[in-house]
Amino acid sequence: MLTLKEIYQFVSDTGRDVLKDYYDKCYDTLKEINKRSNLLSVFVLLLTAVYFFPNFIKDSTVSGFKISLDIIKVLSPLLIPYFILEWCLIARRRRELMKMMKFAGFKIFNTPTQAEKIDPFILSIHSRNTIPFSFMMEILNVDITSKTNVYFNRYFVRTMLGAMAIYLLYLAYTSFIQPCLTVPIIICNTLGIFCSFRIALFYYSELKDFKQANISDQAFIASDERAKFDLSDSTN
């Protein structure tokens, strides 16, 4: 994860034209991964519904072809963790892009920095207007002056992570207590557990990197070292 000091250095040392081209590429990438993230979320919800509530789903058709719900139920213990793992990797890329785009926008669009918090995930209306819509980012920026809302967002994220961990553990457990376990089913279940393990490792690594970056960012903000970096567009 890039620190604020590294971002400020990059933005300050990069010409406006080059930075604008870089920003446009970030925008296109962010737009595409947002679409993929939304699609993965739908897939996970549908697979969850099929796996845990098969009696309420009578038929399944994809691109005009009927698909047996039994096959989907067998593959769900592998597909659900895989899609969640990909969703986690996309979320990391999205955070990095938004963090970079916010501070690049200070120079490209002359966004008033005095009216905007330095916190990389708190965006003013100016910054939000220049990036694709993100549900999580909009939630985090609702009434940021309210301590109640800040604490609610913090525990909302923690609850989601805890629920995901419990869900994956339960999914792995139920996948191995089926009445008939064939070799292909065992392989799918094992691969699903491997994906779940990778998700746990991912968040363990992410939390360590986030803490280190946060310590560096807070020190950078407190020292006012950012004042030596020019993020304004001197051509205007």
In the prediction, which pLDDT does 221 show?
78
State what percent of residues in the chain have pLDDT above 70. 85
Residue 157 has pLDDT above 50, yes or no: yes
Cα 31 to Cα 36: distance, rounded to the nearest angstrom: 9
Domain contains 104 = yes
Q: What is the pLDDT of residue 56?
A: 67
Residue 52 structural domain: 4-228
Cβ atoms of residues 225 and 100 within 8 Å? no
CA 227/CA 221 separation, integer angstroms = 10
Q: Number of folded domains in the chain?
A: 1
User: Reduced to 3 states, what is the DSSP secondary structure of residue 153?
Assistant: helix
Q: What are phi and psi of 61, to 5 degrees?
A: -130, 130
Residue 78 within a domain: yes
Position with higher pLDDT, 223 vs 6: 6
Structural domain contains residue 236: no
Check whether 234 has a pLDDT greater than 60. Answer: no
Asked whether the predicted pLDDT for residue 121 surpasses 80, the reply is no
**Distance set, CA 142 to CA 84, 146, 147 (Å):** 26, 9, 11
Does residue 130 carry a pLDDT above 60? yes
Q: Higher pLDDT residue, 158 or 153?
A: 158
Classify residue 65 by burial, with Cβ atoms within 10 Å: 0-12, 13-18, 19+: exposed
Q: Is residue 62 part of a domain?
A: yes
- Asked if residue 233 belongs to a domain, the reply is no
Average pLDDT over residues 213-217: 86
The mean per-residue pLDDT over the stretch 136-141 comes to: 76
Q: What is the pTM of this model?
A: 0.81
- Is 22 within a domain? yes
Give the Å distances, CA to CA, from 198 to 69, 79, 86, 189, 193: 27, 14, 10, 14, 9
What type of residue sits at position 219?
Answer: A
| pLDDT in the model for residue 115 | 44
**pLDDT for position 21:** 95
161 pLDDT above the threshold of 80? yes
Instruction: Give the tens place of pLDDT for each residue, 188-209.
Output: 889 999 999 999 999 999 889 9
Long-range Cβ pairs for the range 122-127 (8 Å, 24+): 123/98, 127/101, 127/102
Say if 235 falls within a structural domain.
no
Query: Considering only CA atoms, which of 128, 199, 118, 142 is closest in space to residue 166?
Result: 199
Average pLDDT on 2-31 reads: 91
| Segment 28-67, tens digit of pLDDT | 999 999 999 989 998 898 888 887 777 766 656 555 556 6
Instruction: Determine the distance from the C-alpha atom of residue 135 to the mean position of all C-alpha atoms in its chain, rounded to a whole number.
Output: 10
Q: Residue 99 — pLDDT band, cuts 50, 70, 90?
A: confident
pLDDT score at 118: 65
